[in-house]
Amino acid sequence: MEKLNFFIEQDSFIITTERTDFFNLRVSNHDKKECFERVSSNTWKISGKQLQSLCNTKDDDRIFLYFGNNQQEINAYEFEINFGPTTTLPFNKQIFYGYISLDNKIRFITQKPTAKSYYIDSAPLEIKSLDSSIELTLNIKTKYVPLSETNLVIYNRQEKNKLKVLSVKVTSKMSEPNIYQNICSFYFSSYHFLKNLRPSFNFNEFDTTLFDFYFTIGIKQTPLSNYEFRIPFSKIVDTELWCNYPNDKKCLFYFYKTVYENLSARIGIIKKEVYHTYRSLLSQPTKKEINNIVLICEYPYKAQDNGFIFFQYLIEKQTYFTPYYVITEGSKDLPNLKPYMDHVVYYKSKQHLQLLFKANYLMHSHTSNYVLPFYTKRLEIQKNSMKKIFLQHGITASKNIEQHYGKQTHPNMTDKILVSSERELEQVHEQLQYPFNEIEITGLARFDHLLKNNHFTKTRQLRKKVLIMPTWRSGEDKLTDEDFMQTKFFRYFSDLITDPTIEKLVKDRKITINFYLHNNFQKYRHLFKSDYVTLLKEGEQTVQSLLKEHGILITDFSSVGLDFVLQRRKVLYFQFDSNQEDFQSSQHYLPELPGPIFKTKQQLLEGLNKAIENNQLDESYIEIVKTQLYSYNDTHARQRIYEVLKNL
């Protein structure tokens, strides 16, 4: 292949060839053109002054090279390209970059050339752990030039935190004309990884954070754009790597392939002694011995919902199954479990892992992954081998939850899903794509407590106790305080709880108003201020007790509204942003919400004033409760769930 040299000498770009004659070689930009000076039969040059005469002061001017009688461009792919030490020419407060375009043409430009022009592909060669660090070796294939440096760029997908790691070594070799193999090595410690990318990591929680891997490239001849290339996944990558971590802990990097076949990772941290237990358990067969051990979990730090209530039932009402409740050691809900501590398992403990390898049954109120102390293929196998019942944490009605719990998206999440009515059964079948034989109408375990001792007199007595409990908004739980205060959610609810009408109702009507933010929004509680509405803190009361102790509920799209009306008490829907796609797409499953919908604050306050007079659920909504929400009006849901467990 004929060689073509492209370099800078003094204040000019030089092009030389071995044989090819670029007669009438010229540059053009818009309607202007300048001709190269032919220095010899196969050498041409053009000065920075000539190039500047073609350009405006804009930063995005491209200058095209043509030769011959027609507008023929130099195709770099037809030559073996040899760049000189630099192809960057500063001239009179302007910089000209010689580069090769994406379509392999030699050109000039007044901004940094795109890195994509020189990139072909990449592949991880090895990822390994070195004491407390990870070493990632990457092969990056480039064209025309070898790499002088690379940067590994890692993102926290949810929180957008970024860690940039400079390569410690780049070894380049030409594998064929114009093609270079660049072997790049990167190191990052587990401590700095978390410090930069997940500073709010909570050791006692199941961490759902995902990390994505990119890289940038650099060449010595000219600066390039900071385009970030995605690192693809490779089958040769060891997906489970453990590093030492401060305070006698081990950090897991679990690498996996995304749907677009790129490299991503999850993390986990456990005590070293627990890690050694895990390693010893790996030698056990994946098939478990038959037993009646049942693991029960909600969120790892929670014990107040359907999981906890059914756990109580198994402890107190039967002897066939041996239940264990999984919860974090520092949970605020531990007092709820105090009478049953012999059957409490601390999250990420040795016993937790041992039971995960042993138990045959799992009952979960959210995703079944919450039973995992960390995520690996082997632990997923152990979880999938258990017979699982999805207790649910609310009546499915006003949100599309397919991405979280759908059978197609998560085929191994559960074996049985519990619902509360024929309508919900149809929705779960159609929307979540569970076959009918995997759906059981039982009602939720907590309904038994909710409906216990519920009667007309109690409802009437509570008419002046108002609870505001909205749901959260997807994505807004990751915002900074400043950005959250710009959301509709904050503006509308902050305006509501500071409205003068609220003050008047509290003073004149002697009502009590409590405001309870969803778990995902509790961290923004300090941003809300009110002299007449009490901001409740998570963990001080259970949601169940709050619903029982209030006579009127104000919500937006939350399923707590559906729980609340089972008590035949009024719920007021404040839907200032009811055009939400997740609500609209599934609203047809519930023909009508069991309460009036208000679009404005003024309408809501008028509805609240009337509800204080009479908080009994209207007859028209009682029919919705009977036919659309809960097929039973009793306190036997737990017994029905128990029968499902026995027959699993």
Query: How confident is the model over 136-194, as pLDDT tens digits?
Result: 999 999 999 999 999 999 999 998 899 999 999 999 999 999 999 999 999 999 999 99
Hey, what are 264's tokens? 């991503």
Mean pLDDT of the 511-538 span: 95
Domain tally, the chain: 4
34 and 159 both lie in a single domain: no
pLDDT, residue 61, reads 81
At residue 542 the predicted structure's pLDDT band, cuts being 50, 70 and 90, is confident
103 and 122 both lie in a single domain: no
511 and 603 both lie in a single domain: yes
Q: Poorest-confidence range of 255-264, 397-406, 454-463, 598-607?
A: 397-406
The answer to whether 513 touches 468, Cβ cutoff 8 Å, is yes
35 and 105 both lie in a single domain: yes
Model pLDDT for residues 28-44, shown as the tens digit of each residue: 998 899 999 999 999 99
For the cut 70, the answer to whether the pLDDT of residue 598 exceeds it is yes
Q: How many residues does the chain have?
A: 648
CB atoms within 10 A of CB 597: 15
553 and 457 both lie in a single domain: yes
Q: What is Dmax (Cα atoms) for the chain? A: 106
Question: Domain containing 548: what range?
Answer: 453-629
Would you say residue 126 lies in a domain? Answer: yes
Would you say residue 638 lies in a domain? Answer: no
Q: Which of 416, 447, 478 lies at the terminal end of a domain, its last residue?
A: 447
Here the CATH number for the domain that contains residue 527 is 3.40.50.12580
The answer to whether 542 touches 550, Cβ cutoff 8 Å, is no
pLDDT, residue 218, reads 97
pLDDT, residue 11, reads 94
Mean pLDDT of the 400-417 span: 92
Would you say residue 647 lies in a domain? Answer: no
pLDDT, residue 58, reads 59
Would you say residue 503 lies in a domain? Answer: yes
Q: Poorest-confidence range of 58-72, 364-378, 497-511, 608-622?
A: 58-72
pLDDT, residue 586, reads 45
Q: What is the mean pLDDT of the chain?
A: 94
At residue 585 the predicted structure's pLDDT band, cuts being 50, 70 and 90, is very low
Q: Which of 91, 111, 131 lies at the terminal end of a domain, its last residue?
A: 111
pLDDT, residue 633, reads 87
DSSP 36: P
Here the CATH number for the domain that contains residue 126 is 2.60.40
395 and 487 both lie in a single domain: no
pLDDT, residue 582, reads 46
For the cut 60, the answer to whether the pLDDT of residue 359 exceeds it is yes
Here the CATH number for the domain that contains residue 321 is 3.40.50.11820
Specify burial of residue 496 (Cβ count, 10 A radius: 0-12, 13-18, 19+): buried
295 and 437 both lie in a single domain: yes
Instruction: Kindly give the pairing relationship between strand 106-109 and strand 570-574.
Output: unpaired
Hey, what are 529's tokens? 């201020």
Model pLDDT for residues 571-581, shown as the tens digit of each residue: 999 999 865 54
d(CA 431, CA 354): 36
Would you say residue 185 lies in a domain? Answer: yes
For the cut 60, the answer to whether the pLDDT of residue 387 exceeds it is yes
195 and 263 both lie in a single domain: yes
33 and 136 both lie in a single domain: no
Instruction: Kindly give the pairing relationship between strand 322-327 and strand 344-346.
Output: parallel
For the cut 60, the answer to whether the pLDDT of residue 583 exceeds it is no
Instruction: Kindly give the pairing relationship between strand 3-9 and strand 80-83.
Output: parallel
Q: At what angle do helices 350-358 and 272-281 cross, to 10 degrees?
A: 20
342 and 229 both lie in a single domain: no
Model pLDDT for residues 291-332, shown as the tens digit of each residue: 999 999 999 999 999 999 999 999 999 999 999 999 999 898
At residue 60 the predicted structure's pLDDT band, cuts being 50, 70 and 90, is low
Specify burial of residue 132 (Cβ count, 10 A radius: 0-12, 13-18, 19+): middle
The answer to whether 496 touches 601, Cβ cutoff 8 Å, is yes
Would you say residue 91 lies in a domain? Answer: yes
Would you say residue 640 lies in a domain? Answer: no
pLDDT, residue 398, reads 63
458 and 440 both lie in a single domain: no
| CA distance to 4, 10, 120, 125, 129, per residue, from 186 (Å) | 34, 37, 20, 12, 12
Q: Poorest-confidence range of 51-55, 211-215, 417-421, 466-470?
A: 51-55
Mean pLDDT of the 535-542 span: 88
pLDDT, residue 584, reads 45
250 and 322 both lie in a single domain: no
Hey, is 232 helix, strand or coil? Answer: strand
Mean pLDDT of the 523-549 span: 93
Mean pLDDT of the 602-608 span: 96
Mean pLDDT of the 229-245 span: 95
Q: Which of 111, 134, 149 lies at the terminal end of a domain, its last residue?
A: 111
Would you say residue 98 lies in a domain? Answer: yes
At residue 561 the predicted structure's pLDDT band, cuts being 50, 70 and 90, is very high
For the cut 50, the answer to whether the pLDDT of residue 15 exceeds it is yes
